[in-house]
């Protein structure tokens, strides 16, 4: 059994776990920990909790010490210096005429390193830029290229729903999202409707996918031949979430379809997507890819 705490280094970054080393922390406290980048000051987001050794992903580092007021003040000073470093780096990028977009700047807690995040369409030769920045800031410089999803997470913004981006608000990790999810949820494959601000498929497609996947298994597809209390018929419309179906009876093909629940029918032959709709879906999928 090991006593651990959860620490986050950015407002909505990933939560990392450390052994408490005998210290007691409350949510909102700060702690000094050893990371791959050196000493860092992070905020405690999960208080002390005992966990079985078998459940812990090793190696698990220990907390160095609780952060003092001076440590917290120094971290805030670093944040202010990062804003200035970002502006100066943008000026140097323009001077070197490099095709790259600067996103963020981060100082190591002990100021031993200054890390810049950027995006670019391809590889960028920034060796001369690094030398220029090193002479300007008198510390070790590192430039790291990131993807468009990480860019959206760092910059934030509003989604098409009108709310702040999920990745900038609460998502700690990016989950795999596929076009299959949009298709199963009955969404249009129009890229502008299912893509986020980053230009990739919206992360929120993942939220309800498990529910849709389980309901699809027990719901007749459009075009399915089913037995109903009124006789055999063909499913012409499906509402996956409610389970409501519209079935056109074989004995009354010219009459309006009747409304039934999936619990009231038994599938004789499962339905398939019409060929013309398959072709259209395939074309839209190719456009997205």
Say which CATH class 74-146 falls into: alpha beta
- pLDDT reported for residue 154: 85
pLDDT digits (tens, 9 = 90+) for 221-262: 888 898 998 888 999 988 888 889 999 998 888 888 899 998
Same fold, 74-146 and 219-275: no
241 within 8 A of 214, measured Cβ to Cβ: no
No. of helices (H) and no. of strands (E), the chain: 8, 13
Percent of the chain with pLDDT over 90: 24
195 within 8 A of 148, measured Cβ to Cβ: no
Q: What is the mean pLDDT of residues 144-172?
A: 86
The domain limits of the chain are: 2-67, 74-146, 153-209, 219-275
The band of 272, judged by pLDDT with boundaries at 50, 70 and 90, is low
Q: Structure pTM? A: 0.70
Peptide bond into 282 cis (omega under 30): no
Bridge partners, 234 (sequence order) = 225, 248
* H or E segment to which residue 285 belongs: helix 275-288
Tokens (6 digits) for 169: 């608000």
Q: What is the mean pLDDT of residues 19-35?
A: 88
The chain-wide mean pLDDT, for the chain, equals 85
Helices 69-96 and 127-137, interaxial angle, to 10°?
140
Give yes or no for residue 289 having a pLDDT over 70.
no
Fold of the 219-275 domain: SH3 type barrels. (2.30.30)
Residue 244 has phi, psi (to 5 degrees) of -80, 140
Q: What is the mean pLDDT of residues 81-94?
A: 92
């Amino acid at each position: 059994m090991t006593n651990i705490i959860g620490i986050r280094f950015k407002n909505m970054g990933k939560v990392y776990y450390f052994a408490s080393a005998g210290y007691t922390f409350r949510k909102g406290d700060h702690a000094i920990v050893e990371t791959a980048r050196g000493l860092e000051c992070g905020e405690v987001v999960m208080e002390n909790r005992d966990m079985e050794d078998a459940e812990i992903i090793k190696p698990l580092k220990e907390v160095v010490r609780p952060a003092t007021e001076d440590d917290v003040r120094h971290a805030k000073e670093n944040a202010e210096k990062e804003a200035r470093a970002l502006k100066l780096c943008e000026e140097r990028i323009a001077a070197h005429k490099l095709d790259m977009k600067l996103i963020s700047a981060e100082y190591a807690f002990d100021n031993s390193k200054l890390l810049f995040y950027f995006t670019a369409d391809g590889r960028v030769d920034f060796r001369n830029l690094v030398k220029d920045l090193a002479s300007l800031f008198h510390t070790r410089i590192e430039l790291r290229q990131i993807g468009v999803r990480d860019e959206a997470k760092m910059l934030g913004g509003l989604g098409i729903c009108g709310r702040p981006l999920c990745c900038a608000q609460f998502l700690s990790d990016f989950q795999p999202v596929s076009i299959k999810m949009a298709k199963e949820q009955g969404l249009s494959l129009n890229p502008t409707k299912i893509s986020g601000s980053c230009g990739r498929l919206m992360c929120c497609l993942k939220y309800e996918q498990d529910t849709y996947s389980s309901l699809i298994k027990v719901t007749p597809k459009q075009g399915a031949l089913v037995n109903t209390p009124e006789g055999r018929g063909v499913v012409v419309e499906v509402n996956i979430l409610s389970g409501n179906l519209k079935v056109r009876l074989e004995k009354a093909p010219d009459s309006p379809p009747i409304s039934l629940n999936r619990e009231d029918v038994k599938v004789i032959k499962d339905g398939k997507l019409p060929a013309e709709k398959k072709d259209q879906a395939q074309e839209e999928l190719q456009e997205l890819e």
